[in-house]
Structure formats: structure tokens, C-alpha cells
């Protein structure tokens, strides 16, 4: 008698769906914890001027995975953060600046091109003992109390104690488990691009708050022929995004310099640019039978405040801590412990990003006053400023 699909399935402890940065970090982390791991999905093709600002704990986690030494030289330190109110509000406070040394740190974090980090994670996954990489997509999921069975598009099947859903905003694993999701589309798009500029950034990230959203310049390391470089994330209305998408590089560079108040001097576009819609997405629950969601599959919001991948890596770290040593990594008790450990951090970060974005778009005097007073307080009250910096870099809610 021929074996059934379930009988023929290859067993593993953890099956990670999705080979983006959070998914590869999860696969490497579980394998380093001693589990038998399968990572499925094609590598992400990243670019379009996108970078990730990795905060201190994220860098520490990548260090523990053995990934950070391979990319450190390609990252730029962020030693300061400058916020400039450019909304035209009557209650606009003066620019404020945060310095990592105020909280006893050398840096807040490091900014690196997405493609460089993805390549390093992919290389680490390819050589990690206990980790099998397959590029086929998952065609079918069966979540049962004893184990989950996953059938790939090429016909292979795997039986896993735990499925890690790291398969992005559309998340087939989430849909298969019946986890509902709520989404909100914002009337904005984000332009991302790498730029070279005439003046040094001084390892300081600058965020202009505008009526259409944040305009954020983040340091990048020097490159041949370009000693001064930064990445840009510019949130704007959909109409302005469509207009700017049609500009040639020289015209776009002039508009960027004008919005930056010539802070970094003349600018030049490097490489390709990206235009992305802004949206917020949240799930009803982070876990289901034999499934845990991480990264964009679990939560997604606009690229504001360097939260996206940092939040996803905190998911991964917490999931490994809750499940890898439990004996049965997909047991209900272990998954519920993971969900409890992440609830407050995810809720707070999502609300904070959404709140800032709404406050900028509101153009309402009472909201402008409240926002202006809040920023002024951060600039004037040292203990409050230092508390905010510590929470931004290493959230207490994530512990």
C-alpha cells in the first residue's frame, strides 16, 4: 500500500513560511536553538531605495545569529535624531535633537540597505546546520492539534510541530488558519530613494514633519564617488506621489533638497526609487493551532519611526524564547505565552505610529497645539526626553 501524504511527510520541529528578513531570522534562530527547521519561499528581491534603521536590540539579536559581522561595514551609525516641524502650524516648536550619548549609548542604531541585510541573512541561512532551505511556495496547509502538515507546490510534504507565519501582509498561512485581519488604507504614498549630498550628515537622522506626512533622511555609509549619503522615506499625498514619480532624477533631487531646506546641500539620486501605498494592518490574534505569526504577517503600518523590521525581530526573539525550549514548540501553552509577551508592544507601537500620522494630517488647531506642546516638552525636559529615547530604542513593553 502506498503511504498517505501524512505518512510520507518529512518531520521537522519548526517550518518557517516566508523568506523575507524576519522569516530568515526566525529560521536561523530556531536552528541555532537546536531545532530541525525548514524555511520555505523564494528569496525577497529588495531594492527601490529601501533601507532599514536597526535599533540597538535588533543589532544585538542579529549579532547573536552570527549575521551582524557580515554587514556592519555596510551600515551607518545613527548617533542623533533631529525633528523639525514643517507643518506651518502656529504652534510649531523649534527643532529638537536627541543624542544617543544622553542615555549612555554610542548609537541609537544603524541604517543599512535592505538588499545588503537580506543577502547576509540568506547567506547565513544557507550554511546554518539544522536548517533546510527550499524555495518552493506552500500550496496547502493543514493545522491539526498534533501537528501541522504543509504541502509544497512541488509536491513535497512536511509535518511540523510549529509553523511560523512570516509570509507578509497577504500571509497565506494566516488565511489558512482562519485568523481575521483588519486593514486601513491611508491617503498617502511613500517615496523611497538613496541620495548622495554635498554636506555630511554627521550621523544624524533628520525627520521633517509635514502636512502630508514625515520626510525622513537617514545616514548611510560612504560609497565610491559619494562620501556623503543618506536614504529618504518621504510620505506624501497620492497626487504628489504620482507627480513626483514622473520627474527625472535631477528634478526630483531639487525637490528633495528644497524640502530638506538645503540642510545637506545639493543632492543627487542614486539608483532606483520606489513608491509604496501607506496602510495599517492588524490581526485578531497572533497564534492559532500550531501557528505563530511574526513580522508583517502579524502587523503592518506606515514606515514611520523605524518600527517595522525592529518590531518583527522582537516577535522572532520572543517566539524563540517562548517555544524553542518547551519540548513541543507548537503546544498551545507555548504559543499563548508568545502571544501574551507581544500584545502590549505591538498595540503600543501600532497606536503610536497611527497617532503621529493622523496628527500630521489633521490640520486642526487643538491637535497642532497638543503636538507642539508635546515636542516642546521633549526638547525642554531632560528626564522626559531621556525616557522617550530609552523607550524608543529598547522598549520596556517588549521585555
Q: Are 228 and 201 spatial neighbours (Cβ–Cβ below 8 Å)?
A: yes
> Higher-confidence residue: 394 or 60?
60
Grid coordinates of 273: 526609487
Report how far residue 92's alpha carbon sits from residue 371's, in angstroms, rounded to the nearest whole number.
Answer: 8
State the average pLDDT over residues 24-46.
94
State the average pLDDT over residues 275-304.
91
User: What pTM was estimated for this model as a whole?
Assistant: 0.91
pLDDT, mean over the chain: 90
Number of structural domains (the chain) is: 1
Whether residue 128 has pLDDT greater than 50? yes
The verdict on residue 251 lying in a domain is no
- Say what the pLDDT of residue 186 is: 87
The verdict on residue 230 lying in a domain is no
Best CA proximity match to 276, nearest among 113, 18, 50: 50
Q: What percent of the chain has pLDDT over 70?
A: 93
| Alpha carbon distance, N-terminus to C-terminus of the chain | 52
The verdict on residue 265 lying in a domain is no
- Say what the pLDDT of residue 306 is: 59
Q: Are 205 and 218 spatial neighbours (Cβ–Cβ below 8 Å)?
A: yes
The verdict on residue 144 lying in a domain is yes
Q: Helices in the chain by DSSP H: which ranges?
A: 5-8, 21-32, 56-64, 68-71, 114-127, 172-176, 238-245, 249-259, 308-323, 332-362, 365-380, 382-393
The verdict on residue 43 lying in a domain is yes
> Higher-confidence residue: 298 or 300?
298
- Say what the pLDDT of residue 377 is: 77
Q: What is the CATH number of the domain that holds 110?
A: 3.50.50.60
The verdict on residue 190 lying in a domain is no
The verdict on residue 189 lying in a domain is no
- Say what the pLDDT of residue 292 is: 98
Whether residue 295 has pLDDT greater than 70? yes
Query: b or e along 17-52 (b: 16 or more beta carbons within 10 Å of the residue's beta carbon)?
Result: bbbbbbbbbbbbbbbbbebbbbbbbeebebbbbbbb
State the average pLDDT over residues 362-382.
75
Chain segment 225-248, per-residue pLDDT in tens: 999 999 999 999 999 999 999 999
State the average pLDDT over residues 99-117.
93
> Higher-confidence residue: 193 or 87?
193
Residue numbers of the domain that contains 128: 7-183+287-398
- Say what the pLDDT of residue 361 is: 67
Report how far residue 377's alpha carbon sits from residue 380's, in angstroms, rounded to the nearest whole number.
Answer: 5
The verdict on residue 221 lying in a domain is no
Q: What's the sign of the alpha-carbon dihedral 86, 92, 97, 102?
A: negative
- Say what the pLDDT of residue 353 is: 73
Amino acid at each position: 500500500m502506498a503511504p498517505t501524504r501524512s505518512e510520507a511527510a518529512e518531520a521537522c520541529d519548526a517550518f518557517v513560511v516566508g523568506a523575507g528578513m524576519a522569516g530568515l531570522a526566525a529560521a536561523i534562530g530556531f536552528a541555532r536553538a537546536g531545532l530541525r527547521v525548514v524555511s520555505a519561499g523564494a528569496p525577497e528581491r529588495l531594492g527601490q531605495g529601501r533601507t532599514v534603521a536597526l535599533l540597538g536590540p535588533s543589532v544585538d539579536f542579529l549579532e547573536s545569529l552570527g549575521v551582524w559581522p557580515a554587514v556592519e561595514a555596510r551600515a551607518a551609525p545613527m548617533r542623533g535624531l533631529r525633528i523639525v516641524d514643517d507643518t506651518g502650524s502656529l504652534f510649531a516648536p523649534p527643532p529638537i535633537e536627541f543624542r544617543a550619548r544622553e542615555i549612555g549609548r554610542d548609537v541609537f542604531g544603524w541604517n543599512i540597505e535592505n538588499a545588503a541585510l537580506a543577502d547576509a541573512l540568506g547567506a547565513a541561512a544557507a550554511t546554518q546546520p539544522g536548517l533546510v532551505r527550499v524555495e518552493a511556495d506552500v500550496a496547502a496547509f493543514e493545522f491539526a492539534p498534533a501537528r501541522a502538515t504543509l504541502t509544497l507546490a512541488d509536491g513535497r510534504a512536511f509535518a511540523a510541530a510549529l509553523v511560523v507565519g512570516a509570509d507578509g501582509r497577504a500571509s497565506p498561512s494566516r488565511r489558512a488558519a482562519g485568523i481575521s485581519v483588519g486593514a486601513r488604507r491611508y491617503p498617502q504614498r511613500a517615496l523611497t530613494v538613496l541620495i548622495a549630498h554635498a554636506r555630511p550628515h554627521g550621523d544624524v537622522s533628520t525627520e521633517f514633519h509635514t502636512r502630508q506626512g514625515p520626510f525622513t533622511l537617514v545616514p548611510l555609509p560612504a560609497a565610491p564617488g559619494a562620501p556623503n549619503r543618506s536614504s529618504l522615506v518621504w510620505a506624501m499625498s497620492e497626487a504628489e506621489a504620482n507627480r513626483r514619480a514622473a520627474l527625472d532624477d535631477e528634478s526630483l533631487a531639487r525637490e528633495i533638497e528644497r524640502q530638506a531646506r538645503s540642510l545637506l546641500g545639493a543632492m543627487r539620486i542614486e539608483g532606483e526609487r520606489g513608491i509604496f501605498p501607506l496602510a495599517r494592518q492588524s490581526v485578531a490574534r497572533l497564534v492559532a493551532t500550531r501557528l505563530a505569526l511574526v513580522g508583517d504577517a502579524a502587523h503592518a503600518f506606515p514606515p514611520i519611526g523605524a518600527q517595522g523590521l525592529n518590531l518583527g525581530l522582537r516577535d522572532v526573539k520572543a517566539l524563540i524564547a517562548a517555544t524553542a525550549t518547551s519540548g513541543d514548540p507548537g503546544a498551545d501553552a507555548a504559543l499563548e505565552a508568545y502571544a501574551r509577551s507581544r500584545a502590549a508592544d505591538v498595540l503600543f507601537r501600532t497606536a503610536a505610529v497611527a497617532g503621529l500620522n493622523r496628527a500630521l494630517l489633521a490640520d486642526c488647531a487643538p491637535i497642532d497645539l497638543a503636538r507642539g506642546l508635546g515636542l516642546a516638552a521633549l526638547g525642554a525636559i531632560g528626564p522626559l526626553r531621556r525616557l522617550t529615547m530609552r523607550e524608543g530604542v529598547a522598549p520596556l513593553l517588549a521585555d
